[in-house]
Amino acid sequence: MLRVRRALPLAAASVYSAKLEERRGSTFRHGAMRKRIAFACLVGLTLPLLAAAITVTTPAGPKEVFARGDLLDVVALLRFAGADVQFAPAAGSYGAVTPEHQIQFTPGGALAVVDGRLTPLPGPLRLVDGHIVAAQPTVIALLAPLGWTMKGGAGAPELIRAGAGEQIEVSVVRAPTGTTLVMRGTKQRPRVVASQGSVALQFATPVTLLRPVMPESELLGAELRNTTLTLRLASGIEVTGTYPLDDPPRFVVRLGTATPVAPVAVPRTGPLVVLDPGHGGEDQGAKGPGSELEKDITMAVGRATAAHLQAAGVTARLTRDGDEAVSLTDRTALANRLQAAVFVSIHANASLARGAHGAETYYMRADASDPQAAQAAARENASAPPDTVQLILWDLAHVANLNNSARLARTVQEKLNALQGIKDRGIRQAPFVVLTGATMPSALVEVGFLSNAEEAARLAAHDVQDQIATALAEAIIDFLRAPAPEAAPTQAVPPTP
């Protein structure tokens, strides 16, 4: 009896994972499926010896919870915290619902949707013996929106109600313009009381910190007592601005030096441009019907653009100068290290719509401007899924570059539009990982569609590649020549026409 009951969830889990594969579009074979269930049942019969449960202390008394090593049954714990947890086959995800909150999560993922907001989890959710399990930090992250938490570690876990009030999470973002503290999870606008060496944020109702605030050079520490969060600041540092943000609700505190000092002059003969030929090595990027590879086209266009810039007296560097794999973060890291004035990532597009053609230029925003832009970003981000929190923080930290990035993208697109036979697909915005780390004006250009046979053949031609390179070099030079508009420090302003 017990054995049969043990075996069932595993078989169900196997059906579930097969369903997931089916949804992903991979081949779904009945034979393999039947074999998998048979195997699952076989394993299920032998597993009771390995299966383990742990006793969790809850306000309603001790409860047995499925556990495997450090991994605990997420669904059981959410239920003990008062949530109604159901599996939604159509969505392939679980939903935990209370009268106030809704959390969706999917086994295999490290993301949850909390009250409609995409939230990264500290670790993945796994499916073990038909139970959704996760390590304690991930369990705590899922319990937090419901006002519950866990303590006592793996030895004597205890499920408890979290402290009353909002749970806030403080992120510290370092940027050349100063340090920014982003407080997520509060809709309050605390009273800001500054004194020598510290600043007190007085909230109207109690708050708790989801995790300790990490000190860094300008912020020495933070202490929370009841409704007051006191930030200890380094000598000469003060609060230069505070403002709330919506969707998700956040409260932002900007720190800076008491008296603005002139930026340190970097000795350089002229501006330096970093060009980023997309993809490389195993990562081929998009592929045309005539076997044209995106990584080859971006390399050729990148090299030719660098040559045109050098000929015009502008120093240009490439993030790769051969068929090699370079991580997305290393690409902007090079531009940051060289203190480049401009970063342009070069790509070629692909679309399921075979007729799609033309060039489009992107600049970085956390929110895509349209569904196609979101798809382009998803495709280009394939080798490194974006950390949504990083994206949101990037948006805040580098908002000062937004006007200039928009101007760079516009200049590039205008020059490409002037080329014969290239359709203008306009300027768009999307969260490209390769642009997230850039601390200078940056843009990503999709020079054309490899999925379009005619355009793929054109993009593979040397004379066309050189025309595109000339246009890109001219655009970058025009951008560098024009006086930079005043950057908006705290608020995104639409680009000037």
Write down the H helix ranges in 101-152: 136-143
Q: Closest distance between Zn ion and the C-beta of residue 449, in Å?
A: 12
CB atoms within 10 A of CB 436: 24
Give Cβ neighbours of residue 6 (< 8 Å, ≥ 6 apart).
44, 45, 47, 48, 51, 129
Residues 321-360 that bind Zn ion (CB under 5 A): 347
Q: In 478-492, which positions are buried (b, 16+ CB within 10 angstroms) versus exposed (e)?
A: ebbeeeeeeeeeeee
Whether 298 contacts 292, CB under 8 Å: no
Nearer to Zn ion, 278 or 288 (CB): 278
Neighbour count for residue 18 (Cβ, 10 Å): 18
Q: How far apart are CA 106 and CA 13, in angstroms?
A: 13
Asked if residue 455 binds Zn ion (CB under 5 A), the reply is no
Coil vs helix vs strand at 439 = coil
| Number of residues engaging Zn ion in binding (CB under 5 A) | 4
- Distance in Å, CB of 389 to Zn ion, minimum: 24
Nearer to Zn ion, 44 or 285 (CB): 285
Stretch that binds Zn ion, among 242-250, 280-288, 435-443, 477-485 (CB under 5 A): 280-288
Least distance to Zn ion, CB of residue 383, Å: 10
Q: How far is the CB of 321 from Zn ion (least distance, A)?
A: 18
Least distance from Zn ion to the Cβ atom of residue 347, Å: 3
**Which is closer to Zn ion, CB of 10 or CB of 376?**
376
Closest separation between CB of residue 445 and Zn ion, Å?
10
DSSP-derived letter for residue 320 is -
| 278 makes contact with Zn ion (CB under 5 A) | yes
Phi-psi region of 358 (alpha: psi -120 to 50; beta: other; left: phi over 0): left
CA distance 374 to 390: 17
- Contact between 280 and Zn ion by CB under 5 A: the answer reads no
Q: In the set 276, 292, 360, 380, which binds Zn ion (CB under 5 A)?
A: 380
Q: From CA 293, how far away is CA 287, in angstroms rounded?
A: 5
- Give the number of other Cβ atoms within 10 Å of residue 248's Cβ: 15
Residue 319 CB, nearest approach to Zn ion (Å): 13
**Residue among 285 and 386 whose Cβ is closer to Zn ion:** 285
Identify the three-state secondary structure at position 28: coil
Closer residue to Zn ion (CB): 385 or 485: 385
Residues 251-270 contacting Zn ion, CB under 5 A: none
Among the residue ranges 83-91, 234-242, 283-291, 370-378, the one whose residues contact Zn ion (CB under 5 A)? 283-291
Residue with smaller CB distance to Zn ion, 81 or 464 = 464
**Of 285, 288, 302, 448, which one interacts with Zn ion (CB under 5 A)?**
285
Nearer to Zn ion, 44 or 288 (CB): 288
Rule CB under 5 A: which residues touch Zn ion?
278, 285, 347, 380
